[in-house]
Amino acid sequence: MGVDHTDVAAAAGRIAPHARRTPILRTELDGRPLVLKLEHLQRTGSFKLRGALNALLGGPRPTHVVTASGGNHGLAVATAARLLDLPATVYVPERAPESKTRRIEAAGAKLVRHGSAYAEAAAAALTEASASGARYVPAYDDPLVIAGQGTCAAEVVADAPDVDALVVAVGGGGLAAGTVLGADGRSVVLAEPVNCQAMHDALAAGTPVDSVVDSVAASALGATRVGALPFEVVRSGDTRSVLVTDRELLAARDLLWEEFRIAVEPAAAVPLAAWLAGRVEADLPCLIVCGANSEWIPA
């Protein structure tokens, strides 16, 4: 089953009653203009709700939902299931951040910790879904999930048509592929941390390959291998892959707070890090600020 821009338009209609249309911010840094898509203001604190909702609304209504996640996708599926009055089970790696796991449980899902990495949690979740007949919602390798994520870029195109490129952080490839489909022909810069670069490695190899996961942004971007469908969508689009260091992305995260009082998780600062480092070739890029599920300790 493939996916194209018409699926993004259909997804936008399905999820509109439940997902927020997040704002854009036109600004400049160092005298250079840019646009920020403030997707960290989405319900659940990340773009992932879009794909989760579309996955559950785009086919027959399931009786139970199962997924695996490093955190953000699990929270999105748990929340989407709650909104649609469906029971959900979310598998996470044993070391998944407490800032995300407690929110998954607060959304009403059953939380299961399994394995040291996402791939192990996903294998266990697939086993349960197969045995129980539950709807398994992949984190990224699914046409409905990809189409849902593409609604974020489609909103950018509608609200800031003068943008000439979109810059997105990449993990398993769902948001990257959706952005390609929703960008209406604009170029898409795929930004990843060094040693957390599954898409970069896949593009270099010509096929998805296993990749090292070792970055401060790994809880959100730590896929060991990009999905086959996202890879095909990305490879067919006008894309460019760039890498940033952990030092660069943490500096970008701090700058988002200092300049704009935008508090995000490390993964969401990767596009800004790429832009600050001069690795984005565009006159007016839009940086997708994709998530804010870091630990927050109020005074």
Beta strands in 178-229 (DSSP E): 187-193
Q: Tell me: the pLDDT tens digits for 72-103?
A: 899 999 999 999 999 999 999 888 878 778 88
Give residue-wise pLDDT tens across range 2-29.
Answer: 899 999 999 999 999 999 999 999 999 9
Do residues 34 and 92 share a domain? no
Of residues 185, 168, 170, the one with CA closest to residue 5: 185
Number of separate domains in the chain? 2
Instruction: Look at residue 167 and tell me whether its pLDDT is greater than 70.
Output: yes
Q: Which candidate, 230, 212, 236, places its Cα nearest to that of 222?
A: 212
**pTM of the predicted protein model:** 0.94
Question: Does 54 fall in a domain?
Answer: no
CATH of the domain at 33: 3.40.50.1100
Q: Are residues 81 and 165 in the same domain?
A: no
Residue 55 lies in a domain: no
Task: Work out the pLDDT band at 297, boundaries 50, 70, 90.
Answer: low
Q: What is the pLDDT of residue 224?
A: 87
Asked whether residue 294 is assigned to any structural domain, the reply reads no
- pLDDT band at residue 222 using 50, 70 and 90 as cut-offs: confident
Q: If you count them, how many residues does the chain have? A: 299
- pLDDT at site 72: 86
Domain boundary among 133, 152, 170: 133
Q: Do residue 96 and residue 231 come from a single domain?
A: no
Q: Which amino acid is at 222?
A: G
Within 160-215, residue ranges assigned H as helices are 174-182, 198-205
Q: Provide the pLDDT for residue 117.
A: 79
Please indicate, yes or no, if residue 298 is contained in any of the structural domains.
Answer: no
Domain that holds residue 94: 63-133
Q: Is residue 299 predicted with pLDDT exceeding 70?
A: no
Asked if residue 14 belongs to a domain, the reply is yes
- Give the contacts of 136 (CB within 8 A, at least 6 positions apart): 66, 67, 125, 126, 129, 130
pLDDT band (50, 70, 90) for residue 298: low
213 shares its domain with 89: no
Is residue 295 one of the residues assigned to a domain? no
41 occurs within a structural domain: yes
| Domain shared by 210 and 277, yes or no | yes
Place of tokens 């929270």: 75
Give the pLDDT confidence of 134-146 residue by residue, as tens digits: 999 999 999 999 9
Last residue of a domain, one of 133, 158, 183: 133
115/26 same-domain check: no
Cβ count near 94 (within 10 Å)? 11
Question: Of 79, 111, 133, which one is at a domain's C-terminal end?
Answer: 133
